Structure 1
Amino acid sequence: MLVDDDATDRELFGEALQGNRPACTLTEAGNGVAALDALRAATQLPHLIVLDLNMPVMDGRETLRALRAEPAWKHIPVCILSTSSAHFDVRNAYDDGANLFLVKPLDFRSLQELATCLLALFGKYSGTV
């Protein structure tokens, strides 16, 4: 699952992911509220949530805390993917339960490499992200 308010970022991430594993299913949400609603309605939970920090309605920080507070979702790995590299954002994300914090790459090739790494780390045995 990719949670990001930027439609272009969601589209590019989807393309990078599909280039690595065409059969992988990507669920998208534009903010934390939409993500939590999608998780409540899901018949199969994602094997990884990639979460932006800065979003309207419910930002990534609030979303991460909500994910970690819910027993049914607590086990899902969460990777923060943000434009921020501020020390306090990184520290707070890990304190709130993030499994990984990455800075958004500036070019598509780097995004493809990032998607490859995420699939290697979290998607080896799954078809749902």
Structure 2
Amino acid sequence: MTEEQPGATGAVGSVFGALADPTRRQLLDLLAARGEATATTLAEGLPVSRQAVVKHLAVLDAAELVSGTRVGREVRYAVRPAALDATARWMTSLAADWDRRLAHIKRVAETAERESRTTRPD
């Protein structure tokens, strides 16, 4: 069991968990490039079996990164960008928080340095 980062929603944690695997990242890249594809088509370009691709797609689907639509006997998968967008927004917010904190530390350090120069005997 993994701990959620403070401030991260369950959806963001699911996205990070799904993207932790390089095969799943590759599947997402392939789907982004193709628009949509079946598990069979995706497996043709990967060094894993179709069954492994289906399992990876299930993880991506659970994280709401892809969706599958049945067309006849096939299931066609496509990228769902909303979860990636939400994760990117969370990361941007986190980066902005750190930028503010680091800017504050810099100001405090610069003030302390100036004060130490003015109180130091020549």
TM-score (norm 1): 0.26
Higher relative contact order (CA 8 A, sep 6+): 1
Q: Which is greater in Rg? A: 2
Q: Which has the higher helix share?
A: 2
Please report the TM-score for the alignment, with normalisation by the length of structure 2. 0.27
